[in-house]
Structure formats: C-alpha cells, structure tokens
Amino acid sequence: MIAEYLQSLQQADILRMLLILLGALLAVEGIRQIASEETRDLQTRNRRMRMIAKGVDESKIVDALMRNAREADTGGRGPWSALEKRFARTDLRFGPAVGLAGALALTVVIYFFAQRSLSPALAGLFAVGFGLGLPFAMLDRLAEARAAKLSEQLPDAIDMMARGLRIGHPINVTLRRVARDMPDPIGSEFGLIEDRVRAGLELGEAFSEFAARIDTEDMHYLSATIRLQHRTGGNLARVLGVLSRVIRGRLNMRKKIGAISAEGRLSGIILTMMPFIIVGTIHASTPSFFLDVADHPIFMPVAAAVLALVALQGIILHRLTNFDF
C-alpha cells in the first residue's frame, strides 16, 4: 500500500515533502535553541543584572538590594536590631516590620483554632511557640542557606578575580566581571560592591560593608585581604589564589564532617521528635488518657518540665552532632 503510494508520487512531490519536513525540523530546532538560550540567560544572570536589563536606575537598584542591610547598619542592640540583621542576611523582599506582623497574625490564627481543643494557657503556649518560633526558625534557616551558598560560590568568584588581575585588569574590572557572569547571590553582592565603589566609597570599605552584611568567616577573610592589599600593595592575584584554595579546602572539610555526622544528626532528630509523636498518637487514639488528668494541679508543672527536658535534649544532641569548622 505504502509502496504503491510512493510509486504514484512524482519526483517534484517527493522533493516538496522533503523540503517541508526539513523546514519543520529547522523551525523546531530554532525554537528549542531560543528557549534554551533564554533559560541559560536566566540561570546565569542575577537579580541585579535583570534589573539593569529592565532599565532600572542604579540608585534604585542599590536601594532594592540594600533595603534591609541599611536598616541593620544603625549599630543598635536588642531584639529588634538582631531581627534587622537576620533579615539583612536573608535578603528578603520585605522588612522586619512586615515579617513580625505576619508572625503575630499567624500566632492569633493558631490560637483561635488551638483554643477549641486545648485550655487557654496551653493554646497560648502552643500558638506563641509555633506562631513566633517557627517563622524565626525559618528565617535563620534561610540566612544559613544563603550564607552557605555564598561560601560555595566565593572560591569561583575569587578565582575569576585572580585571573583578571593576572592578565592586567584593574580590580574594578574584575569585580564587574564577577557581577555580570556569576549567579545569585554572589553576583548581586559583588555588583553591589561595584556600585558602592562607583558611588565614591573606598574599595576596602565596600568589602568591609559586604563582610558585615553577610557575617561569615570566609567573607571577613576576603575583606581583610582586600583592605590590606589596598593599603600596603602587593601581589593581590597570588594572595587571592591562596585564599581561594584555603576556602575551597574548608568547604570540602565541612562536607566530609557533615557526611560523617549525618547518622548522628538523624538520630538526634528522631529522638527529639519521638515524645511528641508518642503523645500525639496516644491523644488521637485515647483522648481521655491525658484529658482526665489535665485539671489536676500537678499536670501543668509536670508537662512544662517534660517539655523543658525534651528541649534540653534537642539542644544537647544538636550541639553534639554539629561542628563548626
């Protein structure tokens, strides 16, 4: 059937079909390359470069990237200042006032639902613990994750600066290259350093500001290196190369320690969560087991003591299975 149909076709018809097929294949390949190029562009460019591509003014870019950092640079002390510093390290799009308002609203909602099945005191304790404790714990995790990603990207950024310095580029050009080619968060941070230097801030001060904003050992090492070279001179490319190898070695050691201590961390999490799982299972299957004695005067002190001991156990296990290096 197919053979007869092909024999009935003229040579011009076959050539036309082949050209149509070739055109369709070329169109599909062109669409694929355009899509992959756009995806690659989004992956390699950072937030600052996307804002520049949209035509955003330089001052507005700096304000957007340093919104929370400027609030944290007031030098104050106390809970509010600590909260501002946490938001500066996470680089969230909203400030501590909005975050605190959201946490308070979450606390009220949790209390509204918890007081239906718990006493007002327990409902309040539960609401405060989850409504305020959970968002701040997530805030710390976001800050730690961003700092860890910056530390992982830092050796590559330093190597890129060192290569530029070896071929004769000034340090401002190497900063611009890192800011243009590296993804977030290191790309936007180095771009912010470049913008601050172009605005009139000294290079050492710009790196000191960067180290204070991120507040990790590796960033302070880089800041001290740049400030020392800026004041005394020397072969900055060689010093940056040594610093890159040291930071990369520290990262590899951290990963090895994390792999060795993974079993201990998992055991600590299971042991810490086990009392809550047991209590929740008993309460779900036999509610009267705890509710029958909830009105006894000694129930609340014992429950508070148990919670304190479980929290202390969690802290001890966390300290035993997590190492600073």
278 and 253 co-located in one domain: no
Residue percentage of the chain with pLDDT more than 90 = 16
For the stretch 89-101, pLDDT in tens is 887 777 888 888 8
Residue 70: how many other CB atoms lie within 10 Å: 13
Tell me how many domains the chain contains. Answer: 3
61 and 179 co-located in one domain: yes
Q: For residue 92, give every residue at least 6 positions away whose Cβ sits within 8 Å of its Cβ, in sequence order, or none.
A: 68, 99, 142
Answer for the pair 210, 187: CB distance below 8 angstroms, yes or no. no
59 and 173 co-located in one domain: yes
Q: Roughly what angle, to the nearest 10 degrees, separates helices 133-166 and 236-260?
A: 140
For residues 263 and 253, give the distance between their C-alpha atoms in angstroms, rounded to a whole number.
17
85 and 194 co-located in one domain: yes
For the stretch 269-306, pLDDT in tens is 898 899 989 988 998 898 888 888 888 889 888 888 98
Answer for the pair 272, 180: CB distance below 8 angstroms, yes or no. no
Last residue in a domain, options 210, 231, 259: 259
Answer for the pair 69, 185: CB distance below 8 angstroms, yes or no. no
Segments in 182-235 forming alpha helices (H): 186-198, 203-214, 217-232
For the stretch 104-125, pLDDT in tens is 998 988 888 888 877 788 788 8
Q: What is the pTM of this model?
A: 0.70
The pLDDT score that the predictor gives to residue 43 is: 47
123 within domain boundaries: no
Residue 87: how many other CB atoms lie within 10 Å: 24
142 within domain boundaries: yes
49 within domain boundaries: no
174 within domain boundaries: yes
6 and 64 co-located in one domain: no
Answer for the pair 203, 222: CB distance below 8 angstroms, yes or no. no
Radius of gyration in angstroms for the set of CA atoms belonging to the chain, rounded to a whole number: 29
Residue 35 has pLDDT above 60, yes or no: no
| 3 state DSSP class of 216 | coil
Answer for the pair 204, 133: CB distance below 8 angstroms, yes or no. no
CA-CA-CA-CA torsion sign (295, 300, 302, 307): positive
Q: What is the DSSP letter of 144?
A: H
Residue 217: how many other CB atoms lie within 10 Å: 13
Residue 163 has pLDDT above 90, yes or no: yes
For residues 67 and 139, give the distance between their C-alpha atoms in angstroms, rounded to a whole number.
17
- Phi and psi at 297, nearest 5°, equal -65, -25
198 and 279 co-located in one domain: no
Nearest C-alpha neighbor of 88 from the set 220, 218, 214, 221: 214
288 and 153 co-located in one domain: no
Average pLDDT over residues 147-156: 91
72 and 31 co-located in one domain: no
116 within domain boundaries: no
Nearest C-alpha neighbor of 223 from the set 162, 214, 192: 214
286 and 146 co-located in one domain: no
125 within domain boundaries: no
Last residue in a domain, options 225, 242, 259: 259
Q: How many residues does the chain have?
A: 325
The residue among 157 and 258 whose pLDDT is bigger is 157
272 within domain boundaries: yes
For residues 9 and 16, give the distance between their C-alpha atoms in angstroms, rounded to a whole number.
11
159 and 81 co-located in one domain: yes
Q: Calculate ∠ Cα 252-256-259, nearest 5°.
A: 140
282 and 237 co-located in one domain: no
- Identify the domain containing residue 276 by its residue range: 261-325
Last residue in a domain, options 212, 234, 259: 259
The pLDDT score that the predictor gives to residue 98 is: 85
Looking at every residue in the chain, the average pLDDT score rounds to 82
300 within domain boundaries: yes
137 and 253 co-located in one domain: yes
